[in-house]
Structure 1
Amino acid sequence: MPTLDLTADPVALTAALVDVASVSGEERVLADALEQALRTQATHLEVLRSGDAVLARTRLGRPHRVLLAGHIDTVPIADNVPSRRADGIIHGCGTSDMKSGDAVFAHLAAALPDPRHDVTFVFYDCEEIEAERNGLGRIEREHRDWLDADLAILGEPTDGTLEAGCQGTLRVEARTTGRRSHSARSWLGDNAIHRAGEILDRLASYTPRDVDIDGCVYREGLQAVRIGGGIAGNVVPDECVVTINFRFAPDRSAEQAVAHVREVLDGYDVTVTDLSPGALPGLSAPAAAEFVAASGAEPRAKYGWTDVSRFAALGIPAVNYGPGDPNLAHTREEHVAEDRITACTEVLHRYLAPES
């Protein structure tokens, strides 16, 4: 089992975490190493193992509790492990999404035995794959009290900027039907692919909303992301399916998002295939407002869905804040700037350190 030094510079710790491969479903070695490090180097923390997730928390009786959460899994490796450091950059799978955030959190777990707020650390598994395997879901079912907090901070890549809340996401299939015939006798058929043209026209002319919530502007989008139809090169198709993704502002509930898309596609057979609600920013909550002030950053809306939505569903304000660049997540060229790691560490240390 690899040995992790939580007291090391978070930059070096990032490289160490990257060097322990942890593709989704294969996080056990890294989870073992994190658990061992927390139990031996952060003895002021209560530590819990849940599957391949590792949790730790203070119990100091502070009036507020802050939760720092980061997933330890990565997408499949693309010849980019072990890590490589050059010119102030760490290259490697997971550097941006999100082992640099994990390194910041793990370092703080050891460096702050007496924080001003009680703190819970959650290093969880299987975030990058299907939602039913996400370690946060298991923790919620089996150890619900461990997720209680006045603010949750997820170390998702934000390039050192505070991104509040998140968009909801909805995928539907809109289906058209026709009549199959030989393409040489096309007048005997009714082409379902041609019928899908009206769906595409509606999407192309759709005007999305921009929604300002707590000073964060969420931009909606309704896009066709896949189209399928036809069975052979000489057959008029009798079915066509258009897959559509709606990224919606968190002022809409999941049910309202579905109703809106059905209204836009009125007259067509619409089937919901995936749905996750968004998360409101919640920046007016005291612990969140304090963190905004400590970060010195201008909060912006999170474009995309993250696990902040899970915390919002529990009534817990949540933000995304991490050193990685979201544009580099899941790429072969994934990397993170060392100065971003240092800056994020300093902000969180300033926010959590005891008052002098």
Structure 2
Amino acid sequence: MRSADPTIPVLDLSASSTDLTRQLCDIESVSGNEKTATDAIEASLAGLDHLELFRNGDALVARTQLGRDRRVVIAGHIDTVPLNNNLPTRYESIDGRDYLWGRGTVDMKGGVAVQLKLAAELTAPIVDVTWIWYDHEEVSESLNGLGRLAREHPELLEGDFAILGEPTNSQIEGGCNGNLRAEIRTFGLRAHSARAWVGRNAIHDAAPIFTALAAYVPREVEVEGLVYREGLNAVGVTGGIAGNVIPDECMVHVNYRFAPSRSGAQAEAHVREVFDGFEVTIVDLAEGATPGLTDPLAQHFLEAVGGEAKPKYGWTDVARFSALGMPAVNYGPGDPLKAHADDERVALDQIEDCERGLRAWLAGS
């Protein structure tokens, strides 16, 4: 549908999902600059009788109201990480496989394009569907558009099962690991480095922290049939005042990815146990989510898509749905290893597979 506002880009929903991915990616939407992309999505869906539209900031919700017994929520974020000379997009072929290259192709406008095309075309799905496109996923949790919707309009997130279109190579990945970030500090006494013996070196005192991290054996934990891999790693170190001063403080920034069998409180207790005797400050904590594959809707979805479900090692917004008591999975085109990469690119056949799987399931075919 052509927008009445000439400043809003026109999205051709009759195009293939791969071409629609390119259209969306070429609308730059680095976090904080999503408005134009949201305007374009909203304009493309305006006037479709089978959808009710709700706008909240730069998040858009489109719902069917068919009176079905069950409702599915299908969501995707429209923002990307910053550009690095990787727009506009281009098609390329590597070893006989066709790709769309450019920022956002993997994370996650391929999934957004599939969702948008199906939202427009599936006028009578076998379940009621709530489609959500939201902003600010790639930045601070406090700005996350899905979180904002959950706080301000929780009724818009209600459903029986949720799908997040994060890149999974078009395979189902259940749940997600939790994520904790902590600052571990040591303290010493400043002194001139020529007379180090009158001070205490806080960086040297941090050695046991690194010893503990190097010796740490991360768990592999089975949760509802999926095996999640944990990780405890130093991701940053700060300390030092000047080139001739013994430092009186050192901070090691530690990231803990924990299986969804652990609560956030249990994860925090574990980190404090590992670094017992040091000052530990938790600076970020996000609960994980269990696989969500036991519900009949999820089982039917798995059958329609095919393949074998895998665990999601990273944290995603499926955890928000899990916190609302809704089982949720990740399912979208793109190799997660290419997310945020300068050579970010998605295989066209994965976009097509994702559309085919979702369409078959929602249409009941």
TM range (shorter): over 0.9
Distance in structure 2 (CA, Å) of the matches to 1:191 and 1:313: 44
Q: 2:236 — aligned with what?
A: 226
Distance in structure 1 (CA, Å) of the matches to 2:157 and 2:129: 11
Distance in structure 2 (CA, Å) of the matches to 1:226 and 1:78: 24
| Aligned counterpart in structure 2 of residue 329 of structure 1, from 339, 344, 351 | 339
What TM-score results when the alignment is normalised by the length of structure 1? 0.97
1:11 Cα deviation (Å)?
0.8
| Aligned counterpart in structure 2 of residue 285 of structure 1, from 285, 291, 295 | 295
| Aligned counterpart in structure 1 of residue 69 of structure 2, from 46, 63, 70 | 63
Q: 2:27 — aligned with what?
A: 20
1:345 Cα deviation (Å)?
0.4
| Aligned counterpart in structure 2 of residue 319 of structure 1, from 329, 333, 343 | 329
| Aligned counterpart in structure 1 of residue 248 of structure 2, from 238, 255, 260 | 238
Q: 2:45 — aligned with what?
A: 38
Residues 125-161 of structure 1: CA deviation (Å, up to 9, x unaligned): 1111111111111111222111011111111011111
Contact between 1:114 and 1:354, CA under 8 Å: does it hold in 2? no
* 1:341 and 2:356 aligned: no
Letter matched to residue 79 of structure 1: N
* 1:197 and 2:197 aligned: no
How do 1:94-133 residues align onto structure 2 when only pairs under 5 Å count?
94-133=104-143
How do 1:291-310 residues align onto structure 2 when only pairs under 5 Å count?
291-310=301-320
Distance in structure 1 (CA, Å) of the matches to 2:92 and 2:270: 49
RMSD in angstroms over aligned alpha carbons? Answer: 1.0
Q: 1:4 — aligned with what?
A: 11
Distance in structure 1 (CA, Å) of the matches to 2:257 and 2:236: 15
Distance in structure 2 (CA, Å) of the matches to 1:310 and 1:176: 35
Distance in structure 2 (CA, Å) of the matches to 1:290 and 1:182: 69
1:180 Cα deviation (Å)?
1.4
Distance in structure 2 (CA, Å) of the matches to 1:274 and 1:30: 29
Flag as ranges the 4+ runs of structure 1 deviating above 3 A.
Answer: none
* 1:83 and 2:89 aligned: yes
1:354 Cα deviation (Å)?
4.0
Q: Secondary structure at the match of 1:35?
A: helix
1:43 Cα deviation (Å)?
2.4
* 1:161 and 2:171 aligned: yes
| Aligned counterpart in structure 2 of residue 210 of structure 1, from 212, 220, 242 | 220
| Aligned counterpart in structure 2 of residue 179 of structure 1, from 176, 189, 192 | 189
Unaligned runs of at least 5 residues, structure 1: none
1:239 Cα deviation (Å)?
1.0
Q: 2:5 — aligned with what?
A: none
1:186 Cα deviation (Å)?
1.4
Percent identity of equivalent pairs: 56
What TM-score results when the alignment is normalised by the length of structure 2? 0.95
Q: Give the number of equivalent residue pairs.
A: 354
How do 1:231-270 residues align onto structure 2 when only pairs under 5 Å count?
231-270=241-280
Distance in structure 2 (CA, Å) of the matches to 1:35 and 1:59: 18
Distance in structure 2 (CA, Å) of the matches to 1:263 and 1:161: 36
Distance in structure 2 (CA, Å) of the matches to 1:152 and 1:7: 26
